[in-house]
Amino acid sequence: MSLATKGKITNVQELMALSKKVRGSILQMLTKSGSGHTGGSLSAADIAVAIYFSKMNYNADNPSMPERDRFIMSKGHAAPLVYAIMAEAGYFHTDTMNTLRTIESPLQGHPCCQKLPGIEVSTGSLGQGLSVANGMALGLRLDKNPARVFCIMGDGEIQEGQVWEAAMTSAHYGIDSLCAVVDCNGLQIDGPVEKVMNINPVGDKWRAFGWHVIEIDGHDMQQILSALDEAEKTKGKPTAIIANTTKGKGVSFFENKVEYHGVTPSEEQLVKALEEINNG
């Protein structure tokens, strides 16, 4: 039975405990595979946990349920985060997490909708998720389906021009069933986002494109929950949640380290990291 059938979680402490568990699963998967993305999976964990377990309508036993809410991880390299949450939600047995990035595994290096039921769209080519979210939301509107669409993007990702074409489209059509979250952890594979291609002021850009904007601490669970509530109540325009986060959040020796964008923990680091997470 999926968590969705048991009722949504709104208790901050329960959600924070889930975030810790998810972070631990992410690191265990990455260490075993020896390949994957650590920093950005950890930075978005609190946001994604809150979306799935406090807001989303889904049924892991029926992933194609028409009235389900849709979730798109546009920054597809954060796939370990998606898989850790889906395992917790009951989409597949937790043992499957040991197969990350192996041949024929449903848990590919980037989310693949042909391999894993519950993945709405294959992602990994950055900049495309918001466009897909627009299409899904408009399709749901035509069907008079009240389902909502959530899309998580990276701050480095929004350097892509397609994101802004999609943002303009979302506002033009008043897609208020759409909630986009920008995981602003300040780092991308080539270094600080501000130095690679400055995107500041992020919130003002989304406002200029006609979005309702909420800026939060992306690790403060109460702020996340309040922002998601506000997004749901906002009508006539889409909502962008600008979540200020820390790359590698939860493990001191990964935090704000650009080298851990795409480097996995060693066995020794895993032991220390899990101890930090569990005692944090």
Report whether pLDDT(2) > 90.
Answer: no
Is pLDDT of 218 > 80? Answer: yes
Phi-psi region at 229: left, alpha or beta (left = phi > 0; alpha = psi -120 to 50) = alpha
CA distance 201 to 160: 16
For the chain, first and last CA: distance in Å? Answer: 30
pLDDT tier, 6 (very low <50, low <70, confident <90, very high otherwise): very low
Angstrom distance (rounded) from CA 280 to CA 173: 43
Task: Please compute the mean of the pLDDT values over residues 160-182 and round it to a whole number.
Answer: 98
User: Does residue 193 surpass a pLDDT of 50?
Assistant: yes
Residue 3: pLDDT above 60?
Answer: no
User: What is the gyration radius of the CA atoms in the chain, in angstroms?
Assistant: 17
Q: For residue 280, what pLDDT is reported? A: 81
Collect all residues with Cβ–Cβ distance below 8 Å to 113 and sequence separation of at least 6. Answer: 119, 120, 121, 122
Dihedrals φ, ψ of 212, to 5°?
-80, 125
Mean pLDDT for all residues in the chain: 96
- The reported pLDDT for the residue numbered 18 is 97
Mean pLDDT calculated for residue range 133-153: 98
DSSP-derived 3-state class of residue 248: coil
The CATH superfamily holding the domain 3-279 is Thiamin diphosphate (ThDP)-binding fold, Pyr/PP domains (3.40.50.970)
Distance CA 199, CA 185 (A): 12
pLDDT tens for 224-251 read 999 999 999 999 999 999 999 999 999 9
Query: Is the pLDDT at 162 greater than 50, yes or no?
Result: yes
Asked whether the predicted pLDDT for residue 4 surpasses 80, the reply is no
Mean pLDDT of 28-57: 98
Domain extent listing, the chain: 3-279
Residue 202 reports pLDDT greater than 50: yes
DSSP string over 100-122: TT-TT-SS-SS--TTTSTT--S-
- DSSP character at residue 52: I
Report whether pLDDT(7) > 80: no
The predicted model gives 17-28 an average pLDDT of 98
